[in-house]
Amino acid sequence: MRAGDLWAAEELPAAYYLKRRFEIPEIMPKLPLEDEPFIASWQETAGQDVLTFLSDRFGLPVSDFSWQNIDALQLSFADTLGGKLPVIATESHLDFRAMEAVLNARKALQELPPTVNAFTMQTRAKPIFRHRILLLNRAPYSNISAEKMGLAKEDWLERSHKLRMRHECAHYETLRIFDDMRNHALDEILADALGQIAAFGSFDGDRQRIFFGLTRGKDTCTGRLSFYCQKVGEEERPKIYKAVDEVLDDVAGELDGLLARKAEDIELLSALAGTSIAERLEALKKKG
């Protein structure tokens, strides 16, 4: 099996998994990239509410579902390095699931855990087939309580929304600029790092350990990082947890330096995407 084919295997060795990195173009395209062609059709809302717009503009069967909080549904546009992206926001997990069903032409609601509150979707409904949409639900990020974050409830909800929005935009940016996006620890470190900066002004390794379900110095995981390691054999996953724990402070230090000199977003994105977890571990070993 060729090295490049390993990603298609049922299970990946931890050492190979940790080598993932993005290929950064030697000559960066002009940013932001031009909007994808479908964006124009989404910019015709003309003050309509979200459900009316989806029904009248695209003929989507929104009346097939019950909606819990229609007045809270919002349609906006995120400006990313990859161009504009439509954003539909909900304030009910039931409405989040219903909107996902409408956009993906499902006849029934998909079972989703309460921890899942965001998608960067490539839609499947025929009138909007392959449109990319960011779907967000207003909820605590990573299902972490405000008390655990040491914040007031409303403050944490607002920061969670900012974090979730920037996180999903980062995935879209890597897809369009670097032509790559996967369910992988590196992608999640990258997206959460930019999300933390948007929500808190900085990236903190211990904050990230909370989001991932990691404990400093341990090789166990009680949170969402485990989802992104499913391609790795179960007996090898502790190596991933330990490696991610070990590099988070290094990521924080690099970002502190970049932010101190007011680096642009593409510099932050490239620095995070272009260095694998394995490379960071190796550099830390050399530092002693």
Q: Which residues contact 197 (CB under 8 A, 6 or more apart)?
A: 166, 203, 255, 259, 268
Q: Same structural domain for residues 18 and 49?
A: no
CB 195 within 8 Å of CB 167: yes
In a domain, 164, yes or no: no
In a domain, 161, yes or no: no
In a domain, 169, yes or no: no
pLDDT value at residue 161: 97
In a domain, 275, yes or no: yes
Q: Same structural domain for residues 99 and 48?
A: yes
Q: Same structural domain for residues 133 and 112?
A: yes
pTM for the predicted model, two decimal places: 0.94
Q: Same structural domain for residues 184 and 222?
A: yes
Q: Same structural domain for residues 17 and 54?
A: no
Q: Same structural domain for residues 192 and 90?
A: no
The pair of structure tokens assigned to 239 is 């190596």
Structural domain of residue 134, as residue ranges? 35-146
In a domain, 165, yes or no: no
As for how many domains the chain has, the answer is 2
Residuewise pLDDT in 10s, the chain (288 residues): 344 456 666 789 999 999 999 999 999 999 999 999 999 999 987 678 999 999 999 999 999 999 999 999 999 999 999 999 999 999 999 999 999 999 999 999 999 888 889 999 999 999 999 999 999 999 999 999 999 999 999 999 999 999 999 999 999 999 999 999 999 999 999 999 999 999 999 999 999 999 999 999 999 999 999 999 999 999 999 999 999 999 999 999 999 999 999 999 999 999 999 999 999 999 999 987
Q: Same structural domain for residues 67 and 7?
A: no
For residue 13, cis peptide bond before it (omega within 30 degrees of 0): no
What is the per-residue DSSP string for 89-115?
EESSHHHHHHHHHHHTT-SSPPP--TT
In a domain, 201, yes or no: yes
31: left (phi over 0), alpha (psi -120 to 50) or beta: beta
What are φ and ψ of residue 193, in 5° steps? -60, -50
Q: Same structural domain for residues 116 and 139?
A: yes
The pair of structure tokens assigned to 54 is 């989806």
Q: Same structural domain for residues 49 and 83?
A: yes
Q: What count of Cα atoms within 13 Å lies in the side-chain half-sphere of residue 269?
A: 26
In a domain, 175, yes or no: no
In a domain, 154, yes or no: no
Q: Same structural domain for residues 218 and 260?
A: yes
Q: Same structural domain for residues 16 and 46?
A: no
pLDDT value at residue 6: 64
